[in-house]
Amino acid sequence: MMATLEWVTLTVCCVALLLRVPDAVKGRNRTVFGILLLATLCSLLAVSEVYAAIDGSLGGRHVTSLILRYLVFATVLLVGLRITRGLDAASGYRLIAGATGRWALAFCCLAVLATFLLMDTTGASAGLQVRSDGGGGNAALAPYYTAAGRTYPAFVSLILVSPLLAAVGSRQPRLVRAGALLVLLGALFAILSLPVSLVPAAWAGGLRFVNYAAVLGYVVGLAVLWFSGLISNPSGNAKATLRRKAY
């Protein structure tokens, strides 16, 4: 099931990315194109076969996992800035872009790096899950490495909950509200992924499901919001609405 979910997530990201190419070529909303590009790269690296091939070329020490964590941070940062700006959530934007957000990002980057360096990555499974031989020190460190990688996405997602809830309950067109609801679900799953990262190793499948649900919620939600903007303003010449402004 997880292998199917990996490929489904990658396919959805690729389709959403390709749909945004015309707008990106015309110079419209390139930030969202960048978000989808990063999300596609993250989804690609999360596919077990691709992960193994790339990590093998990098020495087989799971540096790929570290790269993936930082790509996720970059993706979430752009999502947070774009959503808060598009929904006129000034306080949320300041939290993400300001000193609080910068310190949160720096702390999470250092925490991920520190736990990665402390772990013995030799023989670990894809994504640095606990080793099949019992894991030794990794059995204790792996959950904290995972949690460190989930903390910044959870931080940004928590900030997005309030403006997204307001958008869902607003009088915006149905597609806008549907897109906001999907992004909200993605944010809630991203928040949930933090406590779930500390569950026993036997529940690793549940953690991966939560992670993929978060990605799909964000990506599909952004695609729906873009489509709603395309319908409302296909030529780009009319007065900008919230939909076009944000997506």
Burial class (CB in 10 A: 0-12, 13-18, 19+), 80: buried
Q: pLDDT at position 237, please?
A: 38
- What is the DSSP secondary structure assignment for residue 123, as one 8-state letter? T
The count of residues in the chain is: 247
Task: Give exposure, 100-133, as e/b (b: 16+ Cβ within 10 Å).
Answer: ebeebbeebbebbeebbeebebeebbbbbbbbee
Residue located via tokens 């020490």 = 61
What is the largest distance, in Å, between two alpha-carbon atoms of the chain?
62
pLDDT digits (tens, 9 = 90+) for 46-85: 888 888 889 888 877 888 989 999 999 999 999 999 999 9
Q: CB-side exposure of 65: number of CA atoms within 13 Å? A: 26
Domain ranges of the chain: 2-246
Mean pLDDT of 31-49: 91
Q: 10 Å Cβ neighbour count for 200? A: 9
Give the pLDDT score at 83.
93
Q: What is the pLDDT of residues 127-168, one digit of tens each?
A: 555 443 444 455 677 788 889 999 999 999 999 999 999 999
The CATH number of 2-246 is: 1.20.1070
Q: Which of 163, 169, 5, 8 is nearest to 86 (CA)?
A: 163
Q: For the chain, give me the number of helices (H) and strands (E)? A: 10, 0
Of 246, 103, 235, nearest to 175 by C-alpha is 246
Note whether 91 and 100 are within 8 A (CB): no
Question: CB of 159 within 8 A of CB of 104?
Answer: no
pTM for the model: 0.87
User: Whole-angstrom Cα distance, residue 95 to residue 104?
Assistant: 10
- Residue 227, pLDDT score: 80
